[in-house]
Structures are given as structure tokens and as C-alpha cells.
Structure 1
Amino acid sequence: MNDTDEKTKSLNRSMVCLCAAELVMMINTTAFNVALPNIAESFGASMAEQQWIVSSYNLVFAAVVLLAGFLGDRLGHLKTMIVGLAMFVIASVIGLAAGNVPVLLVSRSIMGAGAGVVIPMGQALLGILFRDSELSRAMTAWAIAGTLGVPFGPLVGGALTATLGWRGIFGFDGVVFLAVIVVIHMNVSQVSASHESRSLHMPWMSVAMMFAGFTLFSAGLVNAQHGVLSMDAWIPMTVGVALIVGFALHDRASRNPLMELGLMKDPSFAACAPALMMLNFSMYGIIFIMPAYLETVLRHDALIGGMLLMPLVVASIVGARMNDWIVSRIGSRGTSLMALGCLAVGMLTIGVAMRLPEGMMEQSMVMVGQIVAGFGLGVGQPAMLTWAMGRVPVEQSGAGSSLLTVFRQFGSIIGVGIFGSIQSGLYATGFQSLARTAGLSSQSAGSVMLDFQQAAGFTDATGDAIRQVASHAYESAMLGSFATAAAIIAVTLGVVALLSRRVSTK
């Protein structure tokens, strides 16, 4: 075997191992969301507490990701990635022992930190190992690995929750992430394009401003479920935005920046950032809202609820597989714009389905919406990542990947926050209105899961009436949530088109 063949085999092994890390992390994310109704029932968690359980992961992820890029470009991307994987093992042990929501928040926060390290380091390693046409192949494999985690997550999470309870997910995570650490350590070579002379001095002011900004903004979004104009919603959001802007200005003027904002001068890179943000906005919004609909409103168990998300996943895999073919015909820019269009149409379709008569027609429309949105997710991610990372200098691979990942995680934060707040607010209003019409108490327990629990304490007729009111209120709220999401994605599509109108993306 010649050196070229050996090098190709080594690169392929590295790509498979890095994609395996992405796969198990996505399994972790979607498995946990499927188990969320059971966790909420176990701890009696309100919608706000559920939002924080999910948002804590995304919040810490966003706060850590730039720091990961900073360290990866200086200490080595592979070493930094293995540290991130070890965080998942530690968090799994804490999650197994969790007896209340605060401890669970700690576990999910540590996992978020781990993900904030692993994802940008994985993308950076691929960006260093593969260049030009091979980069598209590597990013497509990365996207498919992440997409495959979506079906495996609900299936694994559903099976574990049904047999071992939700704690089984944390036990699964601990074992699997240990195995991934061993496999990556054995098969991925330490590579780095960093300059040894680059400063290792930590820009703590930038880290603190960014973390505080994202925390306050997320807190405002969660509180917005009680009213967007309430002081505990708009004040934290306003202060959070001010801190994020202040962080960007401070970091830009710093001699030791945490974030390479200069990369945003490239129109292609700048266009990809909000486009990728919408991918996570859509995916996290869907997997936050849909499990309660599938498991509580439609009364399926966690395993069946996970299987009913399969159309989204299969369509994502098909879209990722067709990426190269589509890009070769309409370019990265056209593919990215098409992906955003599919997301907007898919979201709107799921929302409109809630206005149809219950039964096969409603479920068929939900399936169509999942397929269209899933295709957009699948075809969009590799096209956008290849388009953006192809513009990043090799020595800034970690910083470039981290900057893109920050935008993606901000999409996750606003996805859970906007979906959760709109859904909760509309649900409470709808429940009160429908309950009064039905002659029932208009007091909601705060979420559809808790209202179903509350219904169990009444006689059959009253309990059935409460469940029916809660189901209709949740479906009505889904229309508002998904229609709002479609509008946000459509506006972003226009922004991306405007930013990239003068660039060649073939």
C-alpha cells in the first residue's frame, strides 16, 4: 500500500470518528427532549422550568463555544475536543443522581459546555484535514451524522425512558461518551494549524460580558411567556442585548480577541451566519414543541412519539445526500436560500395542520410539514458550512468554526425561547377561554402535561373535558408558534439574499 492510500485511509478514519462524536451528541439532545414530558411529570416542572432545562444546555454552549475556538487554535483542536467529551461523562453521572430541577440544570449545563467544545473542534478538524472539494464531502458526512442523531435520539430515548425511566438516558450517555473518547484518541491524529506565538492570556472580560448577555437575554425570553411587555421580560432582554453588543465592540478593539469578527467582512461568511442560525432555530423549536403534542395531546408513549418524528429525519438525510447534486446546479447561495424557503414553508404547514379536523388529515399535513422542513435542514447545513468554512484561513479554523457555532447556538436559544414563550402564552390564554366556554375552571397548571395530570384527579367526565380543552388549546397555540417561526425565517431569507447578492458561490 502506497503512502497516498494510507493517508486517504487515515483521513477517512478520522472523518468517521469525528462524525461519530457529532452523532452521539445529537442522540443526546433529541433523546433528552423526548424524555422531557416524563421529567416534567417526575419533578412537577412548569413550562418555564422546562424551558430552562433545555435553554441551560444551549446557553452554556453559546458561552463556551468562542472560548473553545480560542483555546483550540492555541492548544490543539483534538486535545480540546477530548476535554469536551469528558464533560459529557461527568455530566451524565450528575444527571443520574439528580433529585430535583436545579441538579438537573447543573448536569445539562455541563453537557452544554461539552457540546460547545466538541462541535466547533470537530468542524475545525475537518476544515484542517480536508480542503477544496474534499471539504464538501466531509461536511456532508458531518451533517448526515448530526441528522442521523435525530431519529436515533427519539428511538433510544423513548426505549430507555419506557424501560428504565428518564435516568436511563444519562447512564447511556456516560457509557457511549467514554467509548467515543477512546475511539477518537486511537484514530484521530493531533493536528493543529495554530501559531505557537499566539497569546494564551484569557480575555475574561469578553467571556463574562458574553455569558451575562446571553443569560439575561434567555431569562427575558423565558419570562416573556407571562407577557412580552412585562418588566421581567423586556428589561433582561434589553440589558442582555446591550451586553452582547458591548462584548462585540470590546472584543473587536481588544489586542487579544475572543472572537474573530474580521471574518464577517467576507460576504459569504456573513450570509451563512444568520442562515445557520435559522437551522438551529427551526430544529430546536420543533423538538421542544412537538414531543408534548405527540406524547400528551395525541397520548402516545415516548417511543411512538419519537417514531412520529421520523419524517423530519428521513427528509433531512435525503436532503443531505442530495446536497452535492443541488449545489452543483444552483450553487451554495441558491441551495442555502432554497433551504431557508423549505424551512419557512414546512413550519407554516405544521402550524396550519392544527386548524384541520383531528385525525388522518391533520396528521398527514403535519407529516408533510416535517418532510419539507426536514429537507431544508438536511440540504442546508452542509451547503452553508462548506460555503462558510471554505472562506476561512486554515490558521483561523477554530475561530471560524466557533463563530459560526455561536450563531447556530443563538438560534437554539431563541428557538426554545420564542417557541416556548409564544406556545406557553397562547396556551394559557386559549385554555382559559375554552375552559370558560365549557363551564370549567379557567385555572391552568401552566403546561399541557401538568393540566393532564390535574385532570386525573377529577371524575371521568370532568377529567375528559379538561383534557379536551388542554389539547385544543395546545394545538391552537402551535399554529401561532409555527406561523411566527415561518415569518422569522422568511425575513432571514431576505437578509441572507441581500448580504450575498454580489458573491459567487459556485
Structure 2
Amino acid sequence: MHVEEGRKRSLNRSLICLCAAELVMMVNTTAFNVALPNIAESLGAGMAEQQWIVSSYNLVFAAVVLLAGFIGDRLGHLRTMIAGLGMFVVASAIGLMAGNVPVLLVSRSIMGAGAGVVIPMGQALLGILFRGPELSRAMTAWAIAGTLGVPFGPLVGGAITAALGWRGIFGFDGVVFLAVIAVIRMNVPRTGGSRKSRPLHVPWASVAMMTSGFTLFSAGLVNAQHGVLAASAWIPMAVGAVLIAGFVLHDRAARNPLMELGLMADPSFAACAPALMMLNFSMYGIIFIMPAYLETVLRHGALIGGMLLMPLVVASIVGSRMNDWIVSRLGSRGTSLLALGCLAAGMLTIGVAMWWPGDVAEQSTTMIGQVAAGFGLGVGQPAMLTWAMGRVPIERSGAGSSLLTVFRQFGSIIGVGIFGSIQSGLYTADFRDLAQAAGLNPQSAGSVTLDFQQAAGLADATGDLMRQTASRAYESAMTGSFAAASAVILVTLMVVALISRRASR
């Protein structure tokens, strides 16, 4: 009896520590987004540079995550996880000293590599430490931590940016991640991975093809803001897609594969992959577009801008807490489809909100959209993760977790890429048309934040007219961005329903 109680206490401590790491990780991931307007003013970063600041993190994350699972299954998941946390400490020191966008990109890239190691290793450790009903409870707690961290990040980032400026986020990260390393080393048992049983022969050809493919595809998405048919957009995307396809074919035939594609033969696992991709697509898309709207268009500070994303946070918490109840009635498949439906409805509602002429109606409808999307995020992630990881053998936990995380991070990349490019392209076109009609210079400075900054140097009447023009153009572009996102999610919902029609509940 005492042995069993001791085991439960040990597992609970491990769960708390791993969830704390996930929470801090996800807070870090999105806290930076709310500082983008501040960075744009400080470093003169346009929309394309802001996209790269966010995408560099997600891109390196996706490139590293499969390699992390490969190494973790061989050298030990805990050891690999602590190395990933250490990367955040190093990156924080670099970010504190960044005086230009390239150095900032280096810092964010190292952080992306750290996240690409920590998150799959945390999921793998849960899959090893917990099985059966305990796994569902552990994954729900993990998902709640992650779901809280993503939308809660802008509130933390807003408070730090308002008090200390954007560099304060890096200082916060350095201190917090040092504390997380110490706590995890003391409380989480070493398990999984063996240098003797599974030799470490890294398939560098697969790593190179995957990294190059993701980089080129992401570059094409960023350049698509100048037109999808532009050579700088479609050529990198096409070459990137070919390299990604080549990586998949090469890895499937390899004796030492980087990616466990055999897991995709299970319909439940295969259905969860694109569903989880859409969760990140939605989260990162919303949090990339909304700060400029809340802080620049509505003229709130970083702190208030972060607080205005609280409906997303609260709805995510409610959704996570209701997960078990909903799964018990709809099953994992039904809950996942419900979550995607809520995301699509939330996106469309935010887009429609920009049509309303009155500020009260616009902001109230935006809040309703945040609630719908947040509920979908909260109820969907634990259901999808439990559904998928419950089908993965213990010895392949790292590979299974990494494969799911690759899909999630690809969702982050295309979320920022698609939202950013559509938003930037529509904004530039709308600003040109509205500025010409108002007798202003039709050339945008590159983003709504920079246009507001430019307006500050003009005469009062002209400056006010330019700010009004930029605000109307940004809101109009948001309608197109969120409507397109809703359509992408609905198509994915149908694909998930088709793949999983023969899967168990």
C-alpha cells in the first residue's frame, strides 16, 4: 500500500514538473508575438521581417523535432529534454544583447531548437510513465498546461513589454528556464533510451532534406505577400515541397529512418496528425494577426492588448476542463471534429466582426469569435493527443510524439505564413486604394505599425487621416485572412472525418 502511494506521489511530482515545463514553453512561444509592434518600432521591422521573427522559431522547431525523438529514444528522454531547456538559457542571453533583426533571428532560432527538443520529450516521458486511464489524465493535464500557455503568453508578454520593453521577455525566459531545469532534474526519473540497445547513427541526409524543404517552403509563404504567382513565392514553395516529398520517400526506404511513418498506418494516429496541425495553424494565426489590431489599430498598449486576448484564454480553460465529459459522450473522434468545427466558426466570426460599423459591435463579435476558437483549442488538444499517443508502443513513444509535433509545427509555419502573407497582401492593396481616394501617398511603409509611426510625423489632420486609412485597411484585410483560415480548417475537418471513419472512438 505504501509502495503504491509512494509511486503515485512520484508520478504526480513528475507530471507537475513536466506540465510546468510545457506551460513555460508555450508562454514563451506566444509572449513574443505581443511585443512585435514594439520591436517593429525599435528595430524598424516590416511585416516580412516580423513573419521571419516568428517563423524562424517555428521553422527550426519543426526541423529539430524529429531528430529530437530519434536521439531521445536512444540516449534518454530526460537527458535530451534538459539539453533542450539549456538552449533556451543560451538563446535568452543572445536575445538580451540583440541590436538588430538578424541577431534576434539567431536567438529565436535557438529557442525554436530548444522547443523542438523539449515538447516531444515531455510527451514521450508521459507516454512512458503513464499508461491506460492514467495516460488520459496525464495528457489532459499536459494539454491544459499547453493550452493555457499559448493564449496566456500575450498577457505575460504584454505585462513585461509594458514594464521593461521587449528585451525584458528574454530576461524573464533566462531566469524561468534555469529554475525549470533545476526542478525537473530533482523530480523527474530517468527513463527510456539506451545507448546500448539502440545505436545513435544520425541519418544526416534525411535531416538535411527535411530542413531545406521546410526552410524553402516557409520562405515562399513569406514572399507570397507580394503575390502567390511571383517567382519568389511559388519557386521556393515548389522546391520545398519536392524536398519534403523526397525526404518522406528517402526516409521510408532507409534502414535507419528519422521518422516512424509506419505509425500513420493506424487511422486514429493518421487522423490526429492533420487535426493537431490545424490547432497550431489557428493558434499562431490568431496570435500573429491580433496584436497589431489590438495595440495599433485600437491604440491600446501591450498590456491591455494582451488582456484583450483573455476570452481566448478563459474559453481554452473551459474547453480543457470539459474534455473528459465531452469525450465520454462523443468519443475522441467526435470531440476532435467538434473542436475543428469550433475553430472554423471562431475564425469566421472574427472575420465577420470587421464588417460591423460600430466599435462596440465589432469588438463584441471579435470576443465571441475568440471564445469559439478558444473552446475548440481547449477541448481538442487533450482529446487528440490522448487518442493518438494511446496507440503508440512504449518503445516508440519518442518517435510518435515527435511525428505528431512535426505536424503541429508545420501548422504553426503555415499559420504564420498564410495569415501573414494574406494579411500583408490585402493590407497593402486596401491601403493603396483607400489612400488614393483620400488624397494620401498610396505607398504603405510595410505594416500597419510602421504606417502609424509614419503618421506621427505628419500634420495633425493628415496624420489622423492616415491612421484612419491604415486602420480600415487592416480590418478589411483581417476579414479576408480569417475567412480563408476558416475555409482551410473546414477542408481539414472533412479530411479528418474521412480518414477516421473506420477508427475506434
How many Å separate the matches in 2 of 1:322 and 1:493?
A: 21
Matched, 1:209 2:209: yes
- What is the CA distance between 1:194 and its match in structure 2? 5.5
1:59: how far off? 0.2
Aligned to 1:488: 488
| SS of residue in 2 equivalent to 1:500 | helix
- 1:185 alignment partner in structure 2: 185
Query: Does the 8 Å CA contact 1:194/1:396 hold for their aligned counterparts?
Result: no
Question: Is the 2:155–2:309 contact (alpha carbons within 8 Å) kept by the matching residues of 1?
Answer: no
1:31: how far off?
Answer: 1.2
**Counterparts of 1:193 and 1:329, CA distance in 2:** 37
How far apart in 2 are the matches of 1:248 and 1:266? 18
1:93-492 correspondence runs (5 A):
93-192=93-192, 196-492=196-492
2: distance between equivalents of 1:396 and 1:193? 10
Moved more, 190-199 or 26-35: 190-199
Question: Percent identity between the aligned chains?
Answer: 82
Q: Which runs of 4+ in 1 moved over 4 A?
A: none
Instruction: Supply the AA of the counterpart residue of 1:89.
Output: V
C-alpha contact (below 8 Å) 2:444/2:451 kept by paired residues: yes
CA contact (8 A) 1:351 1:482 kept: yes
Deviation at 1:72, TM superposition (A): 0.4
Q: Report the Cα offset of residue 164 of structure 1.
A: 1.1
Kindly indicate whether the alpha-carbon contact (under 8 Å) linking 2:351 and 2:483 is maintained by their aligned counterparts in 1.
yes
Verify the 8 A CA contact 2:311 2:370 in the aligned structure 1. yes
**1:29-40 pair list within 5 angstroms:** 29-40=29-40
Query: Alpha-carbon deviations, 1:107-135, whole Å to 9, x = none?
Result: 00000000000000000000111111111
Q: Does 1:82 align with 2:100?
A: no
CA drift at 1:220: 0.2
Q: Is the 2:70–2:398 contact (alpha carbons within 8 Å) kept by the matching residues of 1?
A: yes
Q: Does structure 2 retain, via aligned residues, the 8 Å contact 1:323–1:379?
A: yes
Cα distance in 2, alignment partners of residues 153 and 503 from structure 1: 35
SS in 2 for 1:197: coil
Paired with 1:283 and 1:13, the residues of 2 have a C-alpha distance of: 29
Instruction: Answer yes or no: is the 8 Å Cα contact 1:225–1:424 preserved in 2.
Output: yes
Q: Does the 8 Å CA contact 2:127/2:394 hold for their aligned counterparts?
A: yes
Contiguous gaps of at least 5 residues in structure 2: none
- Report the secondary structure of 1:191's partner residue: coil
Normalising by structure 1, report the TM-score: 0.99
Shift of 1:197: 2.6
The residue number in structure 1 matching 2:73 is 73
Paired residue type of 1:202: V
Tell whether the 8 Å contact from 2:72 to 2:193 is kept in structure 1 after alignment: no
The alignment yields a C-alpha RMSD, in angstroms, of: 0.9
Structure 1 residue 150: deviation in Å? 3.4
Alpha-carbon distance in 2 for matches of 1:90, 1:501: 46
1:441 Cα offset (Å): 1.1
Deviations 1:59-117 (A, max 9, x none): 00000000000000000000000000000000000000000000000000000000000
Q: Secondary structure at the match of 2:32?
A: helix
CA contact (8 A) 1:273 1:404 kept: yes
TM-score (structure 2 length as normaliser): 0.99
1:8 maps to 2:8: yes
Distance across 2 between alignment mates of 1:484 and 1:268: 27
Q: Judge conservation of contact 2:65–2:405 (CA < 8 Å) in 1.
A: yes
Alignment partners' CA distance in 2, 1:224 and 1:359: 31
The answer to whether the Cα contact below 8 Å between 1:53 and 1:108 also exists between their aligned partners in 2 is yes
Give the letter for the 1:289 counterpart.
I
Q: Deviations over 1:365-418 (max 9, x none)?
A: 000000000000000000000000000000000000000000000000000000
Which 10-residue stretch deviates more, 189-198 or 392-401?
189-198
Shift of 1:175: 0.2
State the 1:41 CA deviation: 0.8
2:260–2:400 contact (8 Å) kept in structure 1? yes
Inter-partner Cα distance in structure 1 for 2:6 and 2:151: 34
Letter in 1 for 2:164: L
AA of the residue aligned to 1:337: L
Aligned to 2:41: 41
Distance across 2 between alignment mates of 1:491 and 1:93? 42
Q: Deviations 1:189-242 (Å, cap 9, x if unpaired)?
A: 001166833231110000000000000000000000000000000000000000
**Number of residue pairs matched by the alignment:** 505
- One-letter identity of the residue aligned with 1:287: I
Whether contact under 8 Å (2:213, 2:242) holds in the other structure is yes
Q: CA deviation at 1:151?
A: 4.8
Structure 1: how far apart are the matches of 2:410 and 2:259?
A: 15
2-structure distance, mates of 1:336, 1:159? 33
SS at 1:501 equivalent? helix
Give distance in 1, aligned partners of 2:317 and 2:495.
27
- 1:504 match: secondary structure: coil
Cα shift at 1:17: 0.1
